[in-house]
Amino acid sequence: MATYNLRSPAVKRLLQEARELQQDICCDYTAQPLEDNLFEWHFVIRGPDGTEFEGGRYHGRILLPSEYPFKPPNLMLLTPNGRFELNKKICLSITGYHPEYWLPAWGIRTVLLGLIGFLTTKANGAIGGIDYTEAERRLLARKSHNWKCSICGITNIDKLPDDKSNTSQSLSSNSGDSLDSKASKDNEIMPQFSFVYDDERRVNDKDHISKSNNSASSSTSFIPPQSTDSESTTNQLDTKSNESSGPEANPIVRQSIVAQSPFRSVIIIDAFIAVFVAMIITLLIKKFILPSSKI
Ligand SMILES: [Zn+2]
């Protein structure tokens, strides 16, 4: 049993898709990872009705990169089909040949639906594409039922039997919806992340300014000129959270100390003057009033 890092985005995503595809039983495709390799899946797709592939069951491999879902998977077919070469990576807009078209919201289900759609297109010399005649393709479609994979041991018709009672689930399955809703959740989360980041940057910029006024210009980030309003709000933040940002960051407290100092000295001087005046009055009384009273 292989072990995987559950914190890897690829592993998380692949386990989620495996769960969803297991619940979403569709008669047009089926896929699951190999028992010993989460990054290789085997699938069976059904040839579309009304085409030379009608009734066909086609088995193949999906090779997933470690960067999945940010990079596309590679596809190869194993069952003879007359449209794609066997054991060769297929060049489609949904495969590894064209990472520029790939969207991380797509998944293995998207790839399989795309592959079914591409079956009926012309190869036009694309890598891995071949153009057999219609008769040859119909013959291969009939033979494909009992084709058995030598790697996973699956026989095509066992995985996708003829009963098509579940067709309605194929286009309205849970997997696509939940992926879409997950993508929209990601979009909801993104602005929150950027908001937190902007907020932190603003406080940090203020830190730069208050710690080193001279070196602020050497910073590569843009520091807007501080208005008095923003100054007071960031200073409130600083007094709460940042004690090491120097005396300039706390002008209100500093001003109150400065304002208190002269006030205290005035009281002391007043007291001295009062004592001094009292002493002079006492001396004057002793010198002029007391001698005169003796007479
Ligand atoms: Zn297989």
Q: Are strands 29-34 and 37-46 parallel, antiparallel or unpaired?
A: antiparallel
Domain boundaries in the chain?
9-199, 241-294
DSSP code string of 195-213: HHHHHHHHHHHHHHHHH-T
What gap in Å lies between CA 215 and CA 77, rounded to an integer?
Answer: 62
80 CA to centre of ligand 1 in angstroms = 13
32 CA to centre of ligand 1 in angstroms = 9
Pairwise pLDDT comparison (229 vs 147), residue with the higher score: 147
**What type of residue is 132?**
Y
Stretch (H or E) spanning 31: strand 29-34
- Where are the alpha helices (H) located in 131-216, listed in sequence order? 134-143, 156-159, 174-211
The predicted structure's pLDDT at residue 291: 65
Sign of CA dihedral 162, 165, 169, 175: negative
Lowest mean pLDDT among 18-32, 37-51, 173-187: 173-187
pLDDT band at 164 (very low <50, low <70, confident <90, very high): low
CATH class of 9-199: alpha beta
Pairwise pLDDT comparison (295 vs 15), residue with the higher score: 15
Residue 239 pLDDT > 50, yes or no? no
Average pLDDT, the chain: 71
Of the ranges 83-97, 150-164, 190-204, 219-233, the best mean pLDDT one:
150-164
Pairwise pLDDT comparison (165 vs 116), residue with the higher score: 116
**Is 63 in contact with 73 (CB distance < 8 Å)?**
yes
Over range 86-106, report the average pLDDT.
Answer: 86
pTM across the whole model: 0.56
Q: Which two tokens stand for residue 271?
A: 């007291």
What gap in Å lies between CA 47 and CA 53, rounded to an integer?
Answer: 5
Over range 166-189, report the average pLDDT.
Answer: 38
Query: What is the CB neighbour count within 10 angstroms for residue 197?
Result: 10
Cα dihedral 160→165→168→174 (10° resolution):
-60
38 CA to centre of ligand 1 in angstroms = 13
The predicted structure's pLDDT at residue 238: 38
Question: Tens digits of per-residue pLDDT, 36-64?
Answer: 999 999 999 999 999 999 999 999 999 99
The predicted structure's pLDDT at residue 50: 95
What gap in Å lies between CA 22 and CA 101, rounded to an integer?
Answer: 27
DSSP code string of 94-113: TSTT-TTT--TT--HHHHHH
285 CA to centre of ligand 1 in angstroms = 122
166 CA to centre of ligand 1 in angstroms = 23
170 CA to centre of ligand 1 in angstroms = 22
List active site positions.
91
Residue 179 pLDDT > 60, yes or no? no
